[in-house]
Amino acid sequence: MTQATQSLTQPSSSATFTGLKCKECGAEYEAKAIHVCEFCFGPLEVMYDYSALAQTVTRERIQAGPNSIWRYRPFLPVVTDTPIDVGTGMTPLLKANRLARRLGLKRLYIKNDAVNMPTLSFKDRVVSVALTRARELGFTTVSCASTGNLANSTAAIAAHAGLDCCVFIPSDLEAGKVLGTLVYGPTVMAVHGNYDQVNRLCSEVANTHGWGFVNINLRPYYSEGSKTLGYEVAEQLGWQLPDHIVAPLASGSLFTKIYKGFQEFVKVGLVEEKAVRFSGAQAEGCSPIAQAFREERDFITPVKPSTIAKSIAIGNPADGIYAVDIARKTNGNIESVTDQEIVEGMKLLAETEGIFTETAGGTTIATLKKLVEAGKINSDETTVVYITGNGLKTQEAVQGYIGQPLTIEPKLDSFERALERSRTLDRLEWQEVLV
Amino acid sequence: MSVKVLIPTPLQKFTRDQATIECEGGSIAELLDSLESSFPGIKARLCDDQGELRRFINFYVNSEDIRFLDGKNTSLNEGDEVSIVPAVAGG
């Protein structure tokens, strides 16, 4: 058992979080390493003292803070004044004019977490929070069940923080994601099975070795890190909320936390209240949340994933039902797209905006396109699309779909011939693709 | 039918801190009753007022989610392993 430093388990007088509360039955708990309600097994959510927050937090104080997620520290469930800050967050919010024109939208923005630090996915946000809290709770070993990005992030930030690390992944992950974990020197368990099986195994392991599993016993703290995706967009839009957001859905957690982030900013008076529509994206080969939304169900039927979008292939999504609730009550939608559309989505974003995203981002762009074409996003809505991961990690997905370089001799005529040929190709492509 | 049941941490206070127990039952429904008679109070944690399994609890028989099998009527064989796992993890 490595959990020891009890003095830091309780929020200090300067902390703004007050404990944990069951999202289902409302039972309250101390801010310890627990993630499920002992009575009804509902998920636990961090509670804050919003009146204290409203008195202390201002736009100016946030802007004077670090250029990372920790500028929002009062909204995050940590006690320390020296959190693990590896430059995570404050990623670009890019006005995507060319993609907008292609789709027929007027104001489209990309929140680009493909370049989040240090491991190029939004997971660095949640892990920075989880490991800071893990240290406060006295853990010396951290762990996770991951579809890849989380493993990269946990291993990297644990290395920086000097924590021991053991990660569990499905054995069929993309090579880039395995390599991008191993390099930081953690113990890596590649499990024969899909993510849901890995997750189940970890739930069984979680309390046996005294480890802090970021997305199991630390999940209430971990998941709060995703709220910063909401805060940053609000701040980067000039302290206002967008009209519509589109985000990928795996467990559904990120989606619900962006919502919570917007709500909190309204609650403490940092932004004006506004009805923001929330739309979610899934891959057809793993779309339990989209199915529940489509069939107007209030429960999720798990599925067995089969899609190239492995980072979001969660067949039994813990927060799925909350994501459905939010999409419904905000007048949003949840759509699914095919693997072919996912690859097209990756290419579309790369060719119009210069952003190489992974399959989850392709899913989100393809869903955006589908929603626009179906008239489910109005052209004058200020729309923000969340791109949560980097394409260099899932190269397998686009190989064979993006052409080859023109190989030439180091001679002028060879170059001229090749150039002529490439122009011909361009013209052919021009006829197929609308600009 | 004697089966092995893996008990999640929040329920181990019912099972005197045992993480694994042996129990009887020809189906998940029967297993729930038999768990209740050995560890009074445990069934109310697993099932709601209507007697249905709570939506944040997952049951697995030999690693297969019972929602891919026959739900509460999923039959159990001698030596099967039943895991009870809270749903709220992952992502």
Over chain A, what HEC string results? CCCCCHHHCCCCCCCCEEEEEECCCCCEECCCCCCECCCCCCEEEEEECHHHHHHHCCHHHHHCCCCCHHHHHHHCCCCCCCCCCCCCCCCCEEECHHHHHHHCCCEEEEEEHHHCCCCCECHHHHHHHHHHHHHHCCCCEEEEECCCHHHHHHHHHHHHHCCEEEEEEECCCCHHHHHHHHCCCCEEEEECCCHHHHHHHHHHHCCCCCCEECCCCCHHHHHHCCHHHHHHHHHHCCCCCCCEEEEECCCCHHHHHHHHHHHHHHHCCCCCCCCCEEEEEEECCECHHHHHHHCCCCCCCCCCCCCCCHHHCCCCCCCHHHHHHHHHHCCCCEEEECHHHHHHHHHHHHHHHCCCECHHHHHHHHHHHHHHHCCCCCCCCEEEEEECEEHHHHHHHCCCCCCCCCCCCCCHHHHHHHHHHHHHHHHHHHHHCCC
Residue B85 token pair: 């796992």
Return the structure tokens found at A45.
Answer: 């959510």
Does the distance separating the beta carbons of A200 and B63 come in below 8 Å? yes
* Lowest mean pLDDT, pick from A174-178, A281-285, A370-374: A174-178
Prediction ipTM score: 0.86
Q: What is the pLDDT of residues A9-18, one digit of tens each?
A: 555 556 789 9
pLDDT band per the 50, 70, 90 thresholds, residue A3? very low
Q: Is B10 at the interface with chain A, CB within 8 A?
A: yes
The token duo for A353 is 């905006």
Å from A181 to nearest chain B CA? 17
Kindly state the average pLDDT of the residues A98-124.
Answer: 98
The first and second tokens of residue A66, run together, are 């670090």
Which string of b and e fits B27-44 if b means at least 16 CB within 10 Å?
bbbbbbebbbeebeebbe
Enumerate domains of chain B plus CATH numbers.
Answer: 2-86 (3.10.20.30)
Minimum Cα–Cα distance from A254: chain B residue:
B91
Give the pLDDT confidence score for residue A423 in this predicted structure. 85
Residue A11's pLDDT is 52
pLDDT given at position A371: 98
pLDDT at B86: 85
pLDDT beyond 50 at A430: no
Mean pLDDT calculated for residue range A193-215: 89
Q: Going from the N-terminus, what domains does chain A have, and what CATH number goes with each? A: 93-120+225-397 (3.40.50.1100), 407-435 (no CATH)
Helix/strand/coil for B76: coil
Q: Which residue has the higher pLDDT, A335 or A194?
A: A335
Averaged pLDDT for residues A68-96: 97
**Chain A: closest CA distance from residue B70 (Å):** 13
pLDDT at A172 over 50: yes
- For chain A, percent of residues with pLDDT exceeding 90: 86
Q: Is the pLDDT assigned to residue A174 strictly greater than 50?
A: yes
Predicted confidence band at A433 (pLDDT cuts at 50, 70, 90)? very low
Q: What is the pLDDT of residue A12?
A: 53
> What is residue B82's three-state secondary structure?
strand
Strand ranges of the sheet holding A44-48, from the earlier edge strand across to the other edge: A28-29, A17-22, A44-48
Give the HSE-up count for residue A318: Cα atoms under 13 Å, Cβ half-sphere. 28
CA–CA min distance A388, chain B (Å): 13
| B65 contact A CB<8A | yes
Q: Which residues of B fall within a CB distance of 8 Å from A304?
A: 68
pLDDT of A422 higher than 50: yes
Predicted TM-score of the model (pTM): 0.93
What chain B residue is nearest to A313 in terms of C-alpha separation? B91
Sheet of strand B81-86, all strands in order from the earlier edge strand to the far edge: B20-24, B2-6, B81-86, B57-61, B64-65
Could you give the CA distance from residue A315 to residue A288 in angstroms, rounded to a whole number?
7
Low-confidence ranges of chain B (pLDDT < 70): 88-91
Cβ atoms A394, A359 nearer than 8 A: yes
Q: Which residues make beta-bridge pairs with A187? A: A166
Residue in B with minimal Cα distance to A150: B91
Residue A429's pLDDT is 56
Count other C-beta atoms under 10 Å from residue A137's C-beta. 22
Cross-chain Cβ contact A195/B87 below 8 Å: no
Contacts of A312 in chain B (CB under 8 A): none
- Residue B29 phi/psi, 5-degree rounding, is -60, -45
pLDDT (0 to 100) of residue B62: 92
What's the pLDDT score for residue B91?
A: 63
Instruction: Tell me what the pLDDT averaged over chain A comes to.
Output: 93
CA-CA-CA-CA dihedral for A323, A324, A325, A327, to nearest 10? 90
Residue of B nearest to A252 (CA): B91
3-state secondary structure of B37: helix
Reported as a single tens digit per residue, the pLDDT across A242-270 is 999 999 999 999 999 999 999 999 999 99
User: How many other C-beta atoms lie within 10 A of the C-beta of residue A111?
Assistant: 25
Check: CB of residue A357 under 8 Å from CB of residue A412: no
Owner of token pair 């490439």: A422
Half-sphere exposure (Cβ direction) of A247: Cα atoms closer than 13 Å = 31
Q: Which band of pLDDT confidence, cut at 50, 70 and 90, is reported for residue A379? A: very high
